[in-house]
Structure 1
Amino acid sequence: MTAGSTSSQETEFDLSDTAFITDPAAGHRWMSAPRPICRGRFADGTPIWVVTRHEDVRAVLSDARFTSRPPGDSHVRSMLSRGIPQDVVEMFDSTLLTMDGADHSRVRRLVTPALSARRMRRLEPAVERIAHGLLEELAAEPEPDLIDRYAHPLAISVICDLLGVDEGYREQWRTWSETLAAALRPDPEQFAPAVRGMAAITRELVEARRVEPRDDLISELVRVRDTDGDRLSDDELVALAMVLVQAGHDTVRNLIALGVFALLRHPRQLALMRSGQLPISAVVAELVRHTAPVKHTFRRFAAEPVHLDGVTVQPGEAVQVVLAAANRDPGQFDDPGELDLARPTCPHLGFGHGAHFCLGANLAQIEGEVALTALFDRFPEVRLAVPAEEIEPRFLAPMPRLPVHLS
């Protein structure tokens, strides 16, 4: 690595350090103190450049010189080194997340219309029915866990409804999705069966929709595949469905859980939300900025020398973009560490930016709006059942539980 300024040497962001999973303060330091590009290590110990400032994050994510794959290579080597079997690596390495250029644009164009803001708004009544049904089930429970009993089932039900995953598979897919969410530090004994199982069931669903199409996303993708096979291969179809389920479940689960936790810790902000003075869309946008349901992107790799903030990133070197830190950048936001639902503007990067901007952002926004509104309307006196310090979110580990008293 070549540095053009000593600022790049000041701190190391080490994703291989277990403190990022076990210590809330470790992640908070990076969420609250964006700094110039600096050296770091990825979860497997390999070197990376770490980008945390809002302006720099936007620059990396919109610059085609940074790709999803190292030049002449892929993520295969890193995953194989961590014990992930070859067949699983090949499936996981052929998704939208690891595509660039023409292939990425081709596949993304096929699914983008189905996830447009207008179409997602049409799903809002269905999301409301799911949310209200789950809350009704909670009413008799003395101390429910809102993650296990609300955020999890709502997120997986909505994304499975959209894709057309049958009811009998959903609990299994929820388990698989949670396993895939740990892709940064995968356990090969759990990760490999999850990828294989999800791929096998997806192929079954694809064949079933060929015989009997329905009004769901898998049927639409099958129609596109069979009408013009050059536009989407069967493997790409399967990989796309898997990514949508995993991302749609994990991101929304985190958004609901972290959003509720933040509001319960900021009663004045919760009262402001419940007053109806603010559009719920602005509330969710600020919660995404403040809580960072997605902490970072997949690594990007320089395809040629790139000068960034006084540093030259050489070809093949990896860059880790930290969305959570960019959304706490004082150069972009006033009082960035404060939850401020009335913030005049909120140009957050919580769903990424550029060509790889989250496909499911529209759906996540709507699910967040519905989930929060329904919860606090149904249970206006909801409060934490344990001290907040006991369940303080970690940087790289999902919030494990959210026990509450509903009245």
Structure 2
Amino acid sequence: MTECQRKTVRAGEAVAPPVEEIDGVGHVRALEPVRQVLRAGGSTTQAGFNAESARSGRPKAHPPVLFQDGDEHKAKRKAIARYFAPATVDRRYRELMEELADRLVAEILQEGRASLSDVTMTYSVEVAAQVVGLTESDLDGMTRRLNAFFAMPPAAPDASAGRFGRLVAALKAVRSIPTVMAFDRSDVRPAIAARRVEPRDDVISHLISQDYTDEEILVECITYAAAGMITTREFISMATWHLLEQPSLRDAYLAAEQPERYDILDEILRLEPVVGHLYRRTTEPLTLTCDDSSYAVPAGAVLDLYIRAANADESAVGPQPLTVCPGRETAAGLRPEAMSFGDGNHMCPGNAIATQESDIFLTRLLRPPLRLDGAPRIEWDELIKGYAVRDLVLVIADEEPPSSS
């Protein structure tokens, strides 16, 4: 099997110290100290995704779960965990995912050509809409509105370029941004109104029961769109790219049972984490250890956690860390996708639904004779150093190689 190399290589990425301070920011690159920070619990707070400026701009509002810390965050995570539990995901959403995937792949084959990012956005929006409760509007229209929102330029000077920077800019002036207002008016408010009359088993109904305002529910819906819909779309595109370029890996994936397929997807995600950096601020002194060295971090320090570098830490994930190697032996207690879903209190609650969603779509997409039409390209989100796969176009492959005559 030809080795699959990491595709999201950035200029300037190089081997660097596992922990170092640069201009007052702690840069943490090795897997073990990254994991120590993420598991530090009450010793750190969320400092990524412009969380601090969002909290200061709306101090009396319920912050979205992504921005919360401490007991408030634990209670919120416990309350929403049932919507994302693996057994719940399989029972409630498998049939929906299968029907959607069958329909979308059939449309690709009928057209003979498709931009995968458009298809996977439709797929991820329809699945997430069911979990969140955005079910009272036209899903095609909601997909267009969310695409417009995530395509718009930064709306405020302090919102760094990128999807999550745009999210925070929207949180600061949520009523003044036309794309957000359209999403609110057409998708969020109808869902809220329906659930005030008849609550259901979804996130919006839970937020209503917790006395969230309509604006706070809108903010949560935008957060779930950014954290769930967009990241899943990018991973499905990246996994498709790897699997179509490596026929032997694709064949192994399609021939495998679900646990082995998940291993392959986890390994691709380890190699290509959608979110490249996470950020924390310490609330008390913290000591990080790596190999035989220790690093003292003072209270109030910002820590930049290099997820891409941690996932490629050979001491934790084994030899050839920049290649796809399903089933590789890793450090004790390390999940196969390493830090790609985070860890500790803020570990992504949607990891089970994202993996199942991706697997169901890919098992259908990869069986027909499809191929890449040209080379995809990578764009970068500068706020979190995350990637976006662009120009990944699928066409029906020739059944026979073209004649040389």
What TM bracket, shorter-length normalisation? 0.7 to 0.9
CA distance in 2, matches of 1:396, 1:363: 20
Q: Is this contact kept in 2: 1:262–1:291, CA < 8 A?
A: no
**TM-score for both structures, normalised by structure 1:** 0.77
1:117 to 74, 86, 107: 86
Structure 2 residue 137 is the aligned partner of structure 1 residue 159:
no
Structure 2 residue 142 is the aligned partner of structure 1 residue 170:
yes
The equivalent residue for 2:43 is 65
SS at match of 1:50: strand
How many Å apart are 1:139 and its aligned residue? Answer: 0.9
CA distance in 2, matches of 1:184, 1:218: 24
- The superposition leaves residues 58-93 of structure 1 with CA deviations (integer Å, 9 ceiling, x where unpaired) of 1000002111259xx97228x99xxxxx5xx66999
How many Å apart are 1:405 and its aligned residue? Answer: 2.1
- RMSD (CA atoms): 3.3
CA distance in 1, matches of 2:171, 2:79: 31
The equivalent residue for 1:258 is 238
- Look up the equivalent residue of 1:113 and give its one-letter code: R
Residues 124-143 of structure 1: matches in 2 within 5 Å?
Answer: 124-143=94-113
- Look up the equivalent residue of 1:111 and give its one-letter code: I
> Greater strand percent: which structure?
2
How many Å apart are 1:134 and its aligned residue? Answer: 0.7
CA distance in 2, matches of 1:146, 1:188: 28
How many Å apart are 1:274 and its aligned residue? Answer: 2.2
CA distance in 1, matches of 2:347, 2:235: 17
SS at match of 1:398: strand
CA distance in 2, matches of 1:240, 1:187: 12
How many Å apart are 1:347 and its aligned residue? Answer: 5.3
SS at match of 1:367: helix
The equivalent residue for 1:370 is 360
**TM-score for both structures, normalised by structure 2:** 0.77
Equivalent residues, number: 356
How many Å apart are 1:386 and its aligned residue? Answer: 0.5
CA distance in 1, matches of 2:168, 2:43: 32
CA distance in 2, matches of 1:406, 1:102: 52
Structure 2 residue 305 is the aligned partner of structure 1 residue 336:
no
- The superposition leaves residues 341-385 of structure 1 with CA deviations (integer Å, 9 ceiling, x where unpaired) of 3435625111000000101111101111111111112x2x32221
How many Å apart are 1:233 and its aligned residue? Answer: 6.5
| Identity between Structure 1 and Structure 2 (%) | 22
CA distance in 1, matches of 2:151, 2:84: 22
- The superposition leaves residues 279-335 of structure 1 with CA deviations (integer Å, 9 ceiling, x where unpaired) of 2221221121111122222x2101122222443322222111122221111011122
- The superposition leaves residues 217-260 of structure 1 with CA deviations (integer Å, 9 ceiling, x where unpaired) of 323443x32xxx5xx66665444333222211011111101111
How many Å apart are 1:27 and its aligned residue? Answer: 5.8
CA distance in 1, matches of 2:171, 2:111: 32
How many Å apart are 1:203 and its aligned residue? Answer: 4.5
- Look up the equivalent residue of 1:311 and give its one-letter code: Y
CA distance in 2, matches of 1:382, 1:90: 51
The equivalent residue for 1:54 is 31
Q: Is this contact kept in 2: 1:198–1:242, CA < 8 A?
A: no
